[in-house]
Amino acid sequence: MSEGSGGAGTTSARLPRIAVAMGDPAGIGAEIVVGALRDPEVFRACVPVVIGDAGVLGRSPGWRGAEPRIVRIGDVEEAHPEVGVIHLIDLANVPGSLRLAVASAEGGRASVEYLAKGVELALAGRVEAVVSAPLNKEAMKKAGFHYLDEYEYLSDLCGVDEYTVLMVTRRFTLASVTLHVPMREMANLITKDRVLMAIRHSDRAARAAGTPNPRIGVAALNPHAGEGGTLGTEEVEAIRPAVEAARAEGIDAHGPYPADTFFMTAREPAYDVYVGMYHDQGRIALKLLEFGRATTMAEGLPVLFCTVGHGTAYDIVGKGVARWENMRDTILLAARRAVTRRQE
């Protein structure tokens, strides 16, 4: 499964409407949203509806000298595909005192409100996907956000517990059984049901991306894949049984393999999806090979949610040097996935 580079394949069908949340207003979110919406390919694939703050967007260096064209709308139906034009649901929620490149309660609160509005529209069937620019967890915590991450927040809003987060690149896709949890707690979350859920979601996402018979590779948790239980029992008690159950369902799953050699094969991928057990497992390989070119996608939620695979980049905010291509590719992936969801 790879991200691909074309449009959504909707030339003869209704373009999906995509909510694009501006992300943390103190980061590069506004800049990369503006940059992405200067690319005609986005408008051939979808109808983007930005949720954000007009003042922040208008001051963004992402316009690159062009006259800002922001059209405020009150209803998503008012949006239409027009290159260089931002159709904006303006929440006007960023105070003029907000400082760029600083994690603040004001910025965290605004970014959560953009996300919540997008989810509200998706659950109501008004948009077919939600895409977010980068969020800053420190800022969100300062605003009183008590969830581990945006995915836990989304699952609560949607009333769904079972989902898998995947990072999609042009080279390969990485799924994670656990995500933003302390290492001390992580091993207790490696259960047969969780691993099997991740494999199922990986298979489903890969098929939706156009891979008819995806190969799913699964990493071990412990060194040397547990050495038959002498270095840990998770492989024997949870991971291998999950792989066997997936194979019994007709999924081409393999493993568990020792992570130190398993992820070496990602350079020339042996698998369409690589399933890791925790956040950093696999992300080192992915970021070495595809840094700045990954899209994070939640599979299994009723709301299709994607975000860029990088952070708020406080070190370069406001300088006009942020790369917007990953934001464009994330919107395009959401558009393609939205179309395949219509048939599911």
The pLDDT tens digits for 161-210 are 889 989 998 888 999 999 989 999 999 999 999 999 999 999 998 988 88
Task: Please give the pLDDT value at position 293.
Answer: 84
Q: Rounded mean pLDDT of 91-117?
A: 97
Alpha-carbon gap, residue 236 to 18, rounded angstroms: 43
Query: Which class would CATH give 1-161+300-344?
Result: alpha beta
pLDDT tens-place string over residues 111-136:
999 999 999 999 999 999 999 999 99
Task: Please give the pLDDT value at position 123.
Answer: 97
Q: Give the residues across from 52 on adjacent strands.
A: 90
Strand order in the sheet with 295-299: 70-72, 86-90, 47-52, 17-21, 129-132, 305-308, 295-299, 164-168, 173-176, 273-276, 215-219, 252-257
Q: Fill in the DSSP letter of residue 62.
A: G
Q: List where CATH 3.40.718.10 sits in the chain.
A: 1-161+300-344, 171-292
Mean pLDDT, all residues of the chain:
92
Instruction: Using the predicted structure, report yes or no on whether residue 289 has a pLDDT greater than 60.
Output: yes
How far from each other are the two terminal CA atoms of the chain, in whole angstroms? 18
Instruction: Using the predicted structure, report yes or no on whether residue 31 has a pLDDT greater than 70.
Output: yes
Nearest residue to 128 via CA among 338, 324, 298? 338
52-81: b (≥16 Cβ within 10 Å) or e? bbbbbbeebbbbeeeeeebeebeebeebeb
Percent of the chain with pLDDT over 90: 81
DSSP notation for 258-309: -HHHHGGGGGS-SSSEEEESSSSTTHHHHHHHHTT--EEEEESSSS-EEEES
Length of the chain, in residues = 344
Query: Which class would CATH give 171-292?
Result: alpha beta
Q: Is the pTM of this model over 0.75?
A: yes
Query: Token digits for 130?
Result: 């939600």
Q: Rounded mean pLDDT of 320-328?
A: 94
Alpha-carbon gap, residue 179 to 153, rounded angstroms: 13
Instruction: Using the predicted structure, report yes or no on whether residue 78 has a pLDDT greater than 90.
Output: yes
Instruction: Using the predicted structure, report yes or no on whether residue 3 has a pLDDT greater than 60.
Output: no
Task: Please give the pLDDT value at position 209.
Answer: 81
